[in-house]
Amino acid sequence: MKKILIANRGEIALRVMRTARKMGIRTVAVYSEADRDALHVRYADEAVLIGPAPSSASYLSIDKVIKAAKLTGADGIHPGYGFLSENAEFARAVERAGITFIGPNAHSIELMGSKLAAKEAVKDYNIPMVPGVDEAIIDVDKAKRIAKEIGFPILIKASAGGGGKGMRIVEDAASFEPQMDRAVSEAISAFGDGSVFIEKYIGSPRHIEIQILADMHGNVLYLFERECSIQRRHQKVVEEAPSAIVTPEIRKRMGAAAVRVAQACDYVGAGTVEFLMDQDKNFYFLEMNTRLQVEHPVTEMITGLDLVEQQIRVARGEVLSFFQEDLKITGHALELRIYAEDPLNDFLPSVGTLDTYVTPSGEGIRLDDSYEEGMTIPIYYDPMIAKLVTYGSNREEAIQRMREAIDAYHIKGAQTTLPFGKFVCDHEAFISGNFDTHFIKNYYSKEHILEQQGTEMAVAAKAGLRFFLEERDRLRVNNRIPSSWKNNR
Ligand code: MV4
């Protein structure tokens, strides 16, 4: 592979290019009209304009991306995350064009894109699953019977879903049918596929995922877990590795289960197997993400591996150069996603021009971003500004570094989730490790941030007053200097 086209934008495009460059591989950016001045365009060796701002006409256009690759002679395409990264048709079209898709084969993507197909595929692989049915509900009465057996509440899920879309909690038998009708029509309008199934509802789960890495020669390894329970409307905000509650014994079992999931779909490349963990630390397979994930840096920090480098090596057909026994966790890493969203206004997008953009740096700080002061956040795409990653020899140190890094990060021109990150790092439940996917719902309200800002403002006011008094005294001294001398400047 001599030249890679990155079919993405923002921080992930830059992040992939950095590794390509390190490996001596040339890079091609694609960009939309809204991204003419974007950093990924500037950073790449070559850049191709592929269309107007809306993603559907640019970053999501299979034809345009492949045309750009042919035009520039790219022999590999990295899809990043989002956009076309989990589009089986795209993976197929890339291979058909004689270009290497840096990701799993189209079959794996397709299989894991359907929750029911995924359940079916892993059936004989001894993977712990949430009690429920593993086929689409056709007979409502039968489903109701099974629901009673499992015990309410149960969850109706869309097979084509993911990220929480098309999910319905059913509290009792009476509300089964109306909730089911809603789930089906929601699934049809969102995914064009009304297949739904039921699972026992795990009330206070943690979301823990395992990073896996597989080569074309049958080697599959797990790169430990990431804890992603701090989410808002299925959008992760804080992630960490390792999880504060996963023991070496659980880690080994989860890792082995994740490897079997990968084997069940002939997986190649970097992938993530998601699990739910209940309050008794039982874990259940949820779904597999067949892409590089946003939060992959925390895994890189604790393993010392470059996941993009591994993706490229595996895509070139190389054998993984290490074994499971070679991998170990060193230290602890946290990631805060900094979104241009207003934590004081229900996390609504708050895009604008970054009038001030001063970033933290130093030991144990990694910042994956794609902005510079003066740049404007486009309204067309994901409003993530940056991923602030901190590393420490232990969890406490990583948290303390995150606090300091947040304080050293100065953004003006858009409201961001930075103060929310501070709230999390200062929260007793987070610090103790005793939290679940309801953390934000249970503990967060904007008053906490207002209070925090109030305290900060009070501190600033006090500092300002002291400065004023000191200056006044100094100036008074100056006033005693004879005017003839003072004016002689
Ligand atoms: C669940 C669940 C409870 N019980 N399944 C949400 C997204 C999709 N990937 C699966 N999800 C869930 N599935 C059962 N049987 C609770 C969730 C869930 C959740 C999972 C992970 C992280 C955040 C979440 C927030 C709400 C619900």
386 and 250 fall within a common domain: yes
Q: Tell me how far the alpha carbon of residue 204 lies from the centroid of ligand 1, in angstroms.
A: 9
Residue 160 is assigned to a structural domain of this protein: yes
- Average of pLDDT values for 224-241? 97
Q: Tell me how far the alpha carbon of residue 233 lies from the centroid of ligand 1, in angstroms.
A: 10
348 and 368 fall within a common domain: yes
Is 237 touching ligand 1 by the criterion CB < 6 Å?
no
Indicate which CATH number applies to the domain containing 238. Answer: 3.30.470.20
Residue 317 is assigned to a structural domain of this protein: yes
pLDDT digits (tens, 9 = 90+) for 391-420: 999 999 999 999 999 999 999 999 999 999
Token pair of 281 as six digits: 């630390």
288 and 344 fall within a common domain: yes
| Residue nearest ligand 1's atom 21 by CA | 207
248 and 392 fall within a common domain: yes
Residue 481 is assigned to a structural domain of this protein: no
Average pLDDT value over all residues in the chain:
94
Residue 475 is assigned to a structural domain of this protein: no
354 and 229 fall within a common domain: yes
First-to-final CA distance of the chain: 67
**Structural domains counted in the chain:** 3
Band the pLDDT of 59: cuts 50, 70, 90: very high
Integer Cα distance of 274 and 285 in angstroms: 6
pLDDT digits (tens, 9 = 90+) for 265-302: 999 999 999 999 999 999 999 999 999 999 999 999 99
Catalytic residue, chosen from 232, 291, 313, 395, is 291
User: What pLDDT, on a 0 to 100 scale, did the predictor assign at position 456?
Assistant: 79
36 annotated active-site: no
50 and 173 fall within a common domain: no
Q: Tell me how far the alpha carbon of residue 155 lies from the centroid of ligand 1, in angstroms.
A: 9
* Structural domain that includes position 16: 3-102
254 and 333 fall within a common domain: yes
66-75, 120-129, 152-161, 397-406: segment of lowest average pLDDT = 152-161
330 and 196 fall within a common domain: no
Token pair of 457 as six digits: 């403002």
Token pair of 26 as six digits: 């040339």
430 and 416 fall within a common domain: yes
Between strands 235-241 and 220-232, the pairing is: antiparallel
214 and 322 fall within a common domain: yes
Residue 303 is assigned to a structural domain of this protein: yes
Is 116 touching ligand 1 by the criterion CB < 6 Å?
no
**Three-state DSSP string of 217-236:** CCCEEEEEEEEEEEEECCEE
Using the atom order of ligand 1, give the atom closest to the CA of residue 438: 25
Residue 86 is assigned to a structural domain of this protein: yes
- Average of pLDDT values for 233-260? 97
